[in-house]
Amino acid sequence: MANIVPVELIATKILIIRGKKVMLDRDIAHLYGVQTKRLNEQVSRNKARFPEDFMFQLTKEELDSLRSHFATLNSEGRDLSKRGRHPKYLPYAFTEQGVAMLSSVLNSERAIKVNILIMRAFVKLRDILSRNKELSVKLKELEERIEGHDADIRDIFEAIRQLMRLPDERQRITGFAAK
């Protein structure tokens, strides 16, 4: 199954749009080995399975933003300009739940296998983001903990330097005589 499409490649197809991790219809169709038109036909036939939090259509502004963002990445298969400057249909974006729901409307062997890989990519991405958040929190805690230590460290070094200095002359303690 891993020979179909590497999970790392699938992860590059996951975008953040409207604050949600999504995949575009054309990327999913390409991975499934079907035409985007055919994928969207199946979705249209099963509209009740795809509420707004599972799938939404991009606005023209969102599509233009993606085009400008990926203008230099067309070599990676993200040719968002394929349909010209003014596409007849705006692409659909599928959330993780929407991609999972696609497995119930697309029943080919390849679609099932790719769907499993896509789910793994979403999980892997979620895990990476979670670890980055944990690391960020720990770094912030460390910064707060050592924030006042700079002055303390300088004081320690100054004390060490004073201990290392040779006195210019011996200090006498009154009342005692050196033999």
Q: Which residue has the higher pLDDT, 48 or 80?
A: 48
Residue 179, in any domain of the structure = no
Predicted TM-score (pTM) of this structure: 0.61
Residue 57, in any domain of the structure = yes
Supply the range of the domain harboring residue 14: 7-137
User: How far from 17 is each of 86, 100, 124, 134, 174, CA to CA, in Å?
Assistant: 20, 18, 18, 23, 81
Residue 74, in any domain of the structure = yes
Q: What does the alpha-carbon distance between residue 111 and residue 119 come to, in Å, rounded to a whole number?
A: 12
Q: Is the pLDDT of residue 1 over 50?
A: no
Residue 64, in any domain of the structure = yes
Q: What does the alpha-carbon distance between residue 1 and residue 9 come to, in Å, rounded to a whole number?
A: 14
Residue 102, in any domain of the structure = yes
Residue 177, pLDDT score: 62
Residue 158, in any domain of the structure = no
134 CB-side CA count, 13 A: 6
Q: Which residue has the higher pLDDT, 148 or 127?
A: 127
What digits encode the pLDDT tens for the residues 17-42? 998 999 999 999 998 888 999 999 99
Residue 160, in any domain of the structure = no
State the DSSP H helix or E strand holding residue 154, giving kind and residue range, or none if neither.
Answer: helix 149-164
Q: Is the pLDDT of residue 157 over 90?
A: no
State the DSSP H helix or E strand holding residue 24, giving kind and residue range, or none if neither.
Answer: strand 20-24
Q: Which of 49, 46, 5 is nearest to 28 (CA)?
A: 5
Number of domain units in the chain: 1
163 CB-side CA count, 13 A: 6
